[in-house]
Structure 1
Amino acid sequence: MLSTSLRVLPDAFGALAIAAAFAFLLTAPDSAIANGYQSPTGPRPVEFLINSQWQTGLHLVDSSTESLIMAKDGWLHTVDANKRTENMRPTSERYQPASAMQMRNQLRAEFGRDFDVVATQNFLVVQPRGRGNRWPDMFENSHRAFVEFMTKRGVRVRKGRFPMVAVVLPDARAMYAELDRLKIDVSRVAGIYANRCNRVLTHDGGRLSDIAATVRHEAAHQSAFNSGVHSRVNDTPSWITEGIGQMFEPESLAGGIVGSTHRIADRMNQESIRHLRNTLSLNRSDDMVRWVERLVDGDDAFRDQSSVHTAYAVSWAMMFYLAERDHTAFADVLHFTATRPPFENYRRGQRRIDFERIMGIDTVTFANRLTRYLNELP
């Protein structure tokens, strides 16, 4: 099932500038956040006017047209450069992320009486009234399985400073109306993860089995970006982010079945492996070499409708192979991409150099081994 994981960005800012907010909150010491971060070159507390109300936030970066600010609930807002004087002002108020209770009250006010806001250890789940614990359990179990999976493979996992928010609308029409309200332009999706509001959005208008894989994919993105497995201050290759999302689509993985004693078929993304077997010639590695090199070098395949499904499937295969056969390289590639210098464009040639250094082999050898591994799978 093809998923959509949106980085919803104000036009004047690149993904790296937007991402600084979340990375700051993940990595800054508690004292820096509690006391206000006053570095002249870093985020600093301001008051800003949004929806006719003054709020306190972190002023992250300016462009020639806008200023980017993170509110206490983790949302990202912009102030027009021509209105900075009247709509943004310095403050001595300390910046503290909103508490779970504050965010829960905000969500209740935002969605009204027709929705419950259910709190779990790591989530606030907005859902139509009377839905019980099905959705909260899915999100919470998916996150816990994600943390367990990564930890067992030596990946560093941090605890985010904001509760993660998942919004379940009553049906697809209501979901698209909410996406329109948030100015997110997508179609034909069962759910998305949008980083501007740091929320997963989906709907409850059909059989859960029909959309569950997409929800688990998007929940994995949310877990990864909120736990520091992926960084929001740098340019992470899409084969890594989408490969992780694809890995957690199977119910067994998201449900916590991650040990080596379980059948590998339970951990496989069956849709991805079927697509590869139907699309690529796996009895020789030429096709895989071309795809591995295309994904390692850039992200264009994910923007091309004629190649996007194969891009997702090959990304799954690459990350699944590393997770199953080479835990060290799996952890190393995630650690490296999460700690690259911020605000730096990840150039095509450098991506190839870094990949081959981390893997200890060139892309052709990697693709050959990957092809043999896929042929061994049940």
Structure 2
Amino acid sequence: MLSRLVLALAAAPIAAPAPAADFMFSAVVDGQTLEGRPLTWTDATMTLLARDGQLHYFAPGRARQAKRTSPTFRGYDTEQMRERLYEEFGSRFDFTSTGHYLVAHPRSERGVWAERFESMYRAFVRYFRVRGFDPVEPPYPLVAVVFGNRSEYQRYVEGSNSGAPTGALGHYEPRSNRVYLYDQSSAGGDDRWDETASTVVHEATHQTAYNVGVHTRFAEGPRWVSEGLATMFEARGVHDSLSYDRGESRINRGRLADYLHDVAPNQPLGTVATFISSDQAFERTPIPAYANAWALTFFLSETRPQQYAEYLALTAQRPLFSEYPPEERVADFRSVFGQDLELLDAQFVRYTQELR
């Protein structure tokens, strides 16, 4: 039984979550063979990082035939992942790989989708390296699934409990560590590619950030940080700076318009300190929240790039599966950007007004 295996490696039975182990084990859970690294466990629950990057949660007592398989974690290689995707999706998809991605896509699309994701990955890594942040290599290929049309994508969303909002064009799913979207050009020809491209950029930014150490999948993080970064990368001058090197091309005009219309006039989301202290704004007023997240992220990354990278590293190092209460969020922010948030708030407002 799995509980005997893991408890044998601990000093005593545990009630609080144990820290991540370095080893890998395999076990049969409800008829499914799982292999990976235990991230945390109690007598009642285990969280396992599988070799394909997916997270599994189960009670240790449900595991059978548990055995240790390796002293260190090793993700699946591309061919192993391809075999697993084929078992899941079958011959209706093609599977194209690049240096960091494995993409399931409609058979008529050849390898264009994989290169789009790989290009985004390279741009993301380049952006952070020049700012002093050294991204890590993912231990497994990153997976994206591109459905042929909206109805196929919607059927997946409805049957997956993914939490994707109704009407979404695509989403990144932290539990499976995959991006899912559909080819919007199938509904309106090549002129719809810009909409698809924006979705690819946004969701691939989430996925890359969570897999190269900019964010962590394994602890609560500020939503304004993840959404602010993804919306910032939507701008061509950020995700394709080699082709669009003018400073104004780094501005996300759509998010700026939302900010100037919905946020700047009366600051409904409060001060910087109020906004960063919780994720509630994204539930109450999502459009202003996304706009404010973009504006704050753009302000910090443009005016304080080294501090911004330091802050991302700090939030990515949160303890495994820990919560992030408001007072800690504000304290961490102050520890990097300074104690005087009223001054920073004034500088932030003035900066965004000058972007008009």
TM-score (normalised: structure 2): 0.85
Asked if 1:271 corresponds to 2:254, the answer is yes
What is the CA deviation profile of residues 114-160 of structure 1, one whole-angstrom value per residue up to 9, with x for unaligned ones? 21101011100110002133322221111111111111111231111
SS at match of 2:267: helix
- Residue in 1 that maps onto 2:213: 228
- Residue in 1 that maps onto 2:270: 290
- Residue in 2 that maps onto 1:166: 144
Which has the higher relative contact order, 1 or 2, with Cα contacts under 8 A spaced 6 or more apart?
1
RMSD of aligned alpha carbons: 2.4
Q: Percent identity?
A: 30
- Residue in 1 that maps onto 2:81: 103
2:263–2:269 contact (8 Å) kept in structure 1? no
1:127–1:169 contact (8 Å) kept in structure 2? yes
Per-residue deviation at 1:275? 0.5
2:29–2:64 contact (8 Å) kept in structure 1? no
1:72–1:97 contact (8 Å) kept in structure 2? yes
Question: In the comparison of the two structures, how many residue pairs are matched?
Answer: 332
Counterparts of 1:241 and 1:170, CA distance in 2 = 28
TM-score (normalised: structure 1): 0.81
- Residue in 2 that maps onto 1:179: 157
Q: Which of 42, 57, 62 is the aligned partner of 2:36? A: 57
Q: How does 1:194-209 map to 2 (within 5 A)?
A: 194-206=173-185, 207-209=192-194
Asked if 1:191 corresponds to 2:176, the answer is no
Letter in 1 for 2:260: R
What is the CA deviation profile of residues 197-248 of structure 1, one whole-angstrom value per residue up to 9, with x for unaligned ones? 1000000143221232122111001111100011233332111111101111
Q: How does 1:1-378 map to 2 (within 5 A)?
A: 40=10, 41=18, 42-43=20-21, 44-50=23-29, 52-63=31-42, 65-80=44-59, 83-84=61-62, 87-94=63-70, 96-186=74-164, 187-206=166-185, 207-257=192-242, 262-281=245-264, 287=267, 290-304=270-284, 307-378=285-356
Query: What are the ranges of 5 or more consecutive residues in structure 2 without an aligned counterpart?
Result: 1-5, 11-17, 186-191
Counterparts of 2:29 and 2:158, CA distance in 1 = 19
Query: What are the ranges of 5 or more consecutive residues in structure 1 without an aligned counterpart?
Result: 1-35
Per-residue deviation at 1:281? 3.5
1:216–1:254 contact (8 Å) kept in structure 2? yes
What is the CA deviation profile of residues 275-316 of structure 1, one whole-angstrom value per residue up to 9, with x for unaligned ones? 11112345xxx6288142332111111122xx1111111111
Letter in 2 for 1:243: G
Counterparts of 1:258 and 1:309, CA distance in 2 = 29
Counterparts of 1:210 and 1:120, CA distance in 2 = 23
SS at match of 2:139: coil
